[in-house]
């Protein structure tokens, strides 16, 4: 069974992935900012005990026991955030399963950031899954909750459901036709956030953007999902219209795509950033049925295994600099020729 980030899901030509995250704090302990080292380590042990015998295959792994390449590979998969791995201590940990569609960060600004992931547009199924896991953990841990304010979080504006639902969208045609501004206006008018792939303050990479809800208080989980799906449907429609427009000049588009394909398949070395830009346009070409040499699976493998940490994981060796760029070019050819 392929991990979710190698699969293609519903509307995956535009919607790369879906994620739902819940912020939770254990009622018997102070918020993170008030926790000393001993309390944090105690929280980690309590959480580890709570997942014993769980049916999801979850296990707790401490960051201090991981090497830098492994940690960065998790960031590249967007399972954990770059901010989370700052100031690693004995208590920081993740809860994760083998499929990696469930991953919780332990000791962010809250005790637990529980996350579930899926390929394509899969918000409804993810909501059912995360509610089930959340209830199971709540029974054993007892999360901080107020009848008036809902789930209590370190940041008051995230209280209520304390839920962040997001979709990762690929919008190369809207970017190419200069229509991203209009889309950003639509997103803002719906009360949604649009950020780079790692959230607030991060940049867009390869025409990838993350769209998520702003409101968590005074709205239910199902209402958040409904609102996000509504804006997502509009974005899918706009991106597909832009792709049709680009397709009107078929020869020009084919020429541009195959020039990029030529660089990708014939280079002797290539940086991660250049590779991301080329793969963004070639994903568009694959989705449009123009670049027949590639498949959805090959694109997904290339997107994952050309990132520096996951490339080193793929090769089973540590590399950097020009050696890494040269091996990236070799791995590209290997995956394309599979």
Considering only CA atoms, which of 102, 104, 134, 133 is closest in space to residue 118? Answer: 102
- Which pLDDT value is given to residue 195? 84
Sign of CA dihedral 326, 331, 333, 334: positive
Q: Which domain holds residue 275?
A: 250-336
**Is residue 226 domain-shared with residue 320, that is, in the same domain?**
no
**Is residue 276 domain-shared with residue 144, that is, in the same domain?**
no
Question: What b-and-e string marks burial along 241-264, b requiring 16 or more CB atoms within 10 Å of the CB?
Answer: ebbeebeeeeeebeebbbebbeeb
| β-bridge mates for residue 208, sequence order | 170, 205
- Which pLDDT value is given to residue 189? 83
**Is residue 201 domain-shared with residue 266, that is, in the same domain?**
no
- Which pLDDT value is given to residue 204? 58
| β-bridge mates for residue 211, sequence order | 167, 194
- Which pLDDT value is given to residue 200? 54
The Cα 284–Cα 254 span in angstroms is 11
Segments of the chain with pLDDT less than 50: 202
**Is residue 96 domain-shared with residue 179, that is, in the same domain?**
yes
- Where a domain ends, among 241, 259, 286? 241
- Which pLDDT value is given to residue 198? 59
The Cα 134–Cα 5 span in angstroms is 23
- Which pLDDT value is given to residue 202? 47
**Is residue 34 domain-shared with residue 161, that is, in the same domain?**
yes
- Where a domain ends, among 179, 211, 241? 241
**Is residue 81 domain-shared with residue 156, that is, in the same domain?**
yes
Residue whose token pair is 């607030």: 200
**Is residue 236 domain-shared with residue 271, that is, in the same domain?**
no
The Cα 140–Cα 192 span in angstroms is 33
Cα 295 to Cα 85, 150, 254, 283, distances in angstroms: 34, 45, 16, 9
**Is residue 123 domain-shared with residue 196, that is, in the same domain?**
yes
Residue whose token pair is 């789930």: 151
**Is residue 134 domain-shared with residue 75, that is, in the same domain?**
yes
**Is residue 128 domain-shared with residue 39, that is, in the same domain?**
yes
**Is residue 112 domain-shared with residue 235, that is, in the same domain?**
yes
- Which pLDDT value is given to residue 177? 92
Instruction: Please count the structural domains in the chain.
Output: 2
- CA angle at 291 for the pair 290 and 292, rounded to the nearest 5°: 100
- Which pLDDT value is given to residue 181? 86
**Is residue 193 domain-shared with residue 322, that is, in the same domain?**
no
- Which pLDDT value is given to residue 286? 96
- Which pLDDT value is given to residue 185? 84
Considering only CA atoms, which of 191, 224, 3, 209 is closest in space to residue 124? Answer: 224
């Amino acid at each position: 069974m392929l991990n979710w980030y190698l699969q293609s899901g519903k509307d995956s030509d535009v919607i790369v992935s879906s994620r739902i995250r819940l912020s939770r704090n254990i009622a018997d302990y102070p918020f993170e900012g008030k926790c000393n080292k001993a309390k944090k380590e105690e929280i980690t042990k309590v959480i580890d005990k709570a997942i014993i015998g769980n049916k999801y295959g979850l296990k707790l792994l401490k960051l201090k026991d991981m090497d830098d390449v492994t940690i960065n590979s998790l960031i590249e998969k967007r399972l954990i955030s770059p901010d989370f791995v700052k100031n690693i201590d004995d208590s920081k940990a993740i809860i994760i399963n083998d499929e990696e569609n469930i991953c919780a960060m332990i000791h962010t600004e809250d005790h637990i950031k529980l996350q579930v992931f899926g390929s394509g547009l899969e918000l409804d199924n993810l909501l059912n899954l995360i509610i089930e896991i959340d209830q199971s953990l709540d029974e054993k841990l007892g999360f901080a909750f107020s009848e008036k304010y809902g789930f209590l979080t370190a940041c008051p504006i995230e209280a209520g459901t304390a839920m962040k639902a997001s979709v990762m969208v690929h919008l190369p045609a809207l970017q190419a036709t200069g229509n991203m501004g209009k889309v950003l206006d639509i997103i803002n008018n719906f009360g949604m956030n649009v950020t780079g792939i790692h959230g607030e303050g991060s940049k867009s990479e390869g025409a990838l953007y993350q769209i998520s809800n702003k409101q968590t208080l005074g709205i239910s989980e199902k209402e958040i999902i409904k609102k996000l799906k509504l804006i997502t449907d509009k974005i899918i429609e706009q991106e597909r219209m832009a792709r049709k427009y680009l397709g009107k000049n078929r020869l020009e588009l084919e020429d541009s795509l195959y020039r990029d394909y030529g660089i990708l398949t014939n280079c002797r070395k290539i940086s991660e950033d250049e590779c991301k830009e080329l793969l963004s346009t070639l994903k568009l070409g694959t989705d449009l049925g123009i670049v027949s040499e590639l498949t959805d699976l090959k694109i997904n493998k290339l997107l994952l295994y050309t990132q520096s940490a996951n490339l080193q994981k793929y090769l089973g060796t540590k590399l950097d600099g020009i050696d890494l760029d040269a091996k990236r070019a070799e791995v590209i050819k290997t995956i394309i020729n599979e």
